[in-house]
Structure 1
Amino acid sequence: MGLPVALGLTAGTAAAGEGDLRRLDTMEAARGWEAVGRLDLDGRGFCTGALIAPDLVLTAAHCVFDKTTGERIDHTRVQFLAGWRNGRASAYRQVRRAVVPPDYNFRDELSAERVRNDLALLELDQPIRNTTVTPFLTAARPHKGDEVGVVSYARDRSEAPSLEEVCGVMARQEGVLIMSCDVDFGSSGAPIFSFAGGAPRIVSVVSAKAELDGQKVALGTSLDEPLGILKAELAAGKGYGLDPAPLTNRIRVGEGRNTTGAKFIRP
């Protein structure tokens, strides 16, 4: 079976729909989600990203391209606002390097291959070492029927993130996850979480929206292979014209995330 018809690229601005959203606009509501942040894209819009290490942000590949020209955005003019809420962030960082999968082509028509490779890894100019901002672990792709959630910013709610806690994995096709999360303009790159085991872990990011039998759905890549490729690209010193970054003192994805004592409160 092919991918759903009526595919629509979220184009640097896509987000969970208004049905089951909970706005995280208070300190109590946002506690545990501070590692999700807004990515400001050189004045051309914004995406959502999430820390998976003190100096690594996961987002969608199409976020680092100018949708008008198709050219790469100067990543040094991209800023990550960790936990951005009502005019203030828990940490502000510029992006030092950005890598996307070698097979990703922004100019390609939206397809399973493009969604499957729609992932970017951004290295920050300085690690975020803040006891209130704890990077998320990632997890293997979820199975059909598993419940997931999305934390995102959006066009009409750019000043605080919102949580859509319960949507489901409808299918896994050609390396693409099809989920019942209702996404629209505002949350490209937003982390998709599994809550299995009691703590949220990132299993995908929002890439595109689509319709399946008249139902709005979200599309995202499986992290397993693309994320491994991106980590290898950074380790090899790649990253859009900059010198290799130092690789010392980095907390790798998969290491413990509770060393700071921060705790999650499940919504």
Structure 2
Amino acid sequence: MDVTQMPWSAIGRVQTELGSRCTGFLISPVLVETAGHCLWLSQTKRFIRPSSVHFLLGYSGNHFVAHARVIRTILPPDYATDKEAATAGLDHATLVLDHPIAKPENVFHVTASTADIAPGTSVLLGGYEQNQPDIITADLNCHITGLSDDQNGHPLFTHDCAGTHGSSGAPVLTKTAQGWQVLGVQVQANTAGNGGRAVPLLNTAVP
């Protein structure tokens, strides 16, 4: 994938100083969206310090377009990694970077409404997979397959895109007449076969 061209130019690797990594994507020049569980430290039972998290935009083969350190992490207050069944729909996080790393036209603007997320919608999923962690790989021809809620009623949607561990935090995208639209954040890949679950990323100002 050409990391100098949209949509790939808005995607990067979320990397911690402890060696863990996920995918993330820009929703403004200084804001990155990723999966909340990517920031959880199972050994200490707490979320990692923001200063230990880095974002490498357009990471490809040990090179990257831009780098920034995270200065703040924003997670839904009720999200709990040990209560996945009840809070899976809250499994997303916003990372605040220490400086802008892209122009406004080279980020994903959050414009989706609930009406945009429907079974049968053509989507793609691109991120840093476990088996190829140094380049963006993507499934360009997949679809939303269903809508669901976690046990506490937070919405999720399922898709049939190919993705493995490492794709957590990747954007689920669709192409519209206005350009690329992000519909959700990948939070879980199926362990057997293609498909996974995503948290919708909605513009709350859209009715």
Length-normalised TM-score, structure 2:
0.86
Output the CA distance in 2 between the equivalents of 1:196 and 1:45.
Answer: 34
Amino acid at match of 1:188: S
* Map of 2:147 onto structure 1: 172
Give per-residue Cα distances to partners, 1:44-94, cap 9 Å, x unaligned.
310100000010000011111113333111111110000111221111000
Q: In the alignment, does 2:51 pair up with 1:76? A: yes
Question: In 1, are the aligned partners of 2:74 and 2:94 still within 8 Å (CA)?
Answer: yes
Contiguous gaps of at least 5 residues in structure 2:
150-154
Cα 1:71–1:152 shift into 2, 3 Å: same
Among 25, 31, 45, the residue aligned to 2:5? 31
Amino acid at match of 2:9: E
Higher strand share: 2
* Map of 1:194 onto structure 2: 174
Length-normalised TM-score, structure 1:
0.68
Among 184, 192, 195, the residue aligned to 1:204? 184
Among 129, 133, 140, the residue aligned to 1:158? 133
Give per-residue Cα distances to partners, 1:6-34, cap 9 Å, x unaligned.
xxxxxxxxxxxxxxxxxx1x56xx52221
Among 87, 95, 103, the residue aligned to 1:114? 87
Output the CA distance in 1 between the equivalents of 2:19 and 2:144.
Answer: 32
Contiguous gaps of at least 5 residues in structure 1:
1-23, 229-252, 255-267
Larger Rg: 1
* Map of 1:21 onto structure 2: none
Q: Which has the higher relative contact order, 1 or 2, with Cα contacts under 8 A spaced 6 or more apart?
A: 1
What RMSD in Å do the two structures reach over aligned CA positions?
2.3
Question: In 1, are the aligned partners of 2:129 and 2:163 still within 8 Å (CA)?
Answer: no
Q: Which runs of 4+ in 1 moved over 6 A?
A: none
Among 155, 158, 162, the residue aligned to 1:182? 162
